[in-house]
Amino acid sequence: MTGVLVLVGTRKGLFLLEGDDERRAWRLEGPLLPGWSVFHAALDPRDGTIHAATNNEVYGATVHRSPDRGATWTRAEVLGLPEESGLTLEKTWHVEPGREGEDGRLWLGAAPGALFRTDDGGATWEPVEGILGHETRDRWYPGAGGLCCHSIQLDPGEPERMYVGISAAGVFRSDDGGETWTPANRGTAADFLPEPWVEVGQCVHKVLLHPGRPARLWQQNHCGVYRSDDRGETWERLEGNGLPSGFGFPLALDHRDPDAALVVPEEGAENRVTCNGRLGVYRTRDGGASWDLRTEGLPAPAWGAVMREGFASDRLDPPGVYLGTQSGSLFVSPDAGDTWLEAVSQLPPILSVEAAEWS
């Protein structure tokens, strides 16, 4: 028997939902880490440890980890920015476990514009100098969520290749394990600047790599939805055919199909609610050439919002898709986005959703 553990990070703690592979009935547990805003939480498939990027308005930013599904938690011992940088850690945003075989290694995205690496399972975190001291840093500007490093993607076939997304700096690729970083923003617009075609400064909202075709990346940006087929060298803008808006935050993929992607657009940067007074998921299955609105089981009227980390998919067949709203509802699609059901409501505002399989 297999099943899914959904990790739901909220502004007021972490919730876990456990279900079988039908993904229609869920057992709710939590809140764990009360008092902490969980910007993102992930289950490390290598050892089952849960890692959570945790923030408190008073007590600062850190990372917690639990080896026993949330029964006990340990906080990072060493996590901060060096004095010579003139910066201090503002927020932790995303924890990405390393690859199979990279024992103890994880990556952490943070604000202001920082990437950290641990090689001891999350006790001590070292800032990645190639990001902290990047030569284009004077052209990075914080978005509404701060200068946040929110997307970290590891190429599963190339151990030295990885990507980060930082708002509003753009996408960067490393081909040497994180030592040096190349801007990967050609073709993505910064429409809020007088000259939109810049090397860096794009407001990327979420970047995902397709695990079955790692040269293909999808991106939800402040200014459009994009696809790259060449490791981020160039991007194609996609929202001309079926999407009501290019503005949005979350993005999810179908692990079986590199041509499929799901987004939840919002009206626009100046009116951040779901389009046309309803909560709907737009899905493409042709690489972004066309988009279909999926609404069955999703509420209307609704003026919701889904945060950049509030969307996830599992690796079952068909994949389950998970959507958490700022209104505290978690919607689940057990059939790759065709139909939806509300698994839980009235949680605190949902900041992040991740899905992990168990067997």
Partner 1 sequence: MVVVLLPAVLAAEAGGRKRFEAEAATVGDALRSLPIADRVLDERGELRPLVNVYVDGTDARERGGLAAPLTGGETLRLVGAIAGG
Question: Given the complex with partner 1, which of 145 and 211 has the nearer CB atom?
Answer: 145
Tokens at residue 226, please?
Answer: 């994009």
Question: Given the complex with partner 1, which of 24 and 75 has the nearer CB atom?
Answer: 75
Is 275 strand, coil or helix? helix
CA–CA distance, 93 with 270 (Å, rounded to integer): 23
Q: Which positions from 169 to 208 touch partner 1 by CB under 8 A, shown as an x/- string?
A: ----------------------------------------
Instruction: Work out the burial of residue 157: count CB atoms within 10 Å of its CB; fewer than 13 is exposed, 13-18 middle, 19 or more buried.
Output: exposed
User: At closest approach, how far in Å is the CB of 57 from partner 1?
Assistant: 4
Binding region for partner 1 (CB under 8 A) out of 29-37, 128-136, 140-148, 181-189: 29-37
CA–CA distance, 276 with 279 (Å, rounded to integer): 8
Instruction: Work out the burial of residue 259: count CB atoms within 10 Å of its CB; fewer than 13 is exposed, 13-18 middle, 19 or more buried.
Output: middle
The answer to whether 70 and 89 are in contact (CB under 8 A) is no
Binding region for partner 1 (CB under 8 A) out of 79-87, 154-162, 180-188, 198-206: 79-87
Interface pick for partner 1 out of 83, 84, 100, 270 (rule CB under 8 A): 83
Residue 125 touches partner 1, criterion: CB under 8 A: no
Question: Given the complex with partner 1, which of 16 and 189 has the nearer CB atom?
Answer: 16
Residue 213 touches partner 1, criterion: CB under 8 A: no
Residue 271 touches partner 1, criterion: CB under 8 A: no
**Range 270-280 burial, b when 16+ CB lie within 10 A, else e:** eeeebbeeebb
User: At closest approach, how far in Å is the CB of 62 from partner 1?
Assistant: 7
Residue 80 touches partner 1, criterion: CB under 8 A: yes
CA–CA distance, 77 with 40 (Å, rounded to integer): 19
Strands (E), 46-89: 50-56, 60-66, 74-75
User: At closest approach, how far in Å is the CB of 334 from partner 1?
Assistant: 34
User: At closest approach, how far in Å is the CB of 87 from partner 1?
Assistant: 9
Question: Given the complex with partner 1, which of 11 and 272 has the nearer CB atom?
Answer: 11
Binding region for partner 1 (CB under 8 A) out of 54-62, 183-191, 197-205, 227-235: 54-62
Residue 68 touches partner 1, criterion: CB under 8 A: no
Question: Given the complex with partner 1, which of 83 and 100 has the nearer CB atom?
Answer: 83
Interface pick for partner 1 out of 81, 123, 269, 293 (rule CB under 8 A): 81
Residue 144 touches partner 1, criterion: CB under 8 A: no
The answer to whether 206 and 247 are in contact (CB under 8 A) is no
CA–CA distance, 331 with 95 (Å, rounded to integer): 23
Query: What dihedral do alpha carbons 114, 120, 124, 128 form, nearest 10°?
Result: -30
Q: Name the DSSP letter for residue 143.
A: B
Question: Given the complex with partner 1, which of 3 and 60 has the nearer CB atom?
Answer: 60
Q: Which residues pair with 354 in a beta bridge?
A: 7
> Which residues are at the interface with partner 1 (CB under 8 A)?
34-36, 56-60, 62, 75, 77, 79-81, 83, 88-89
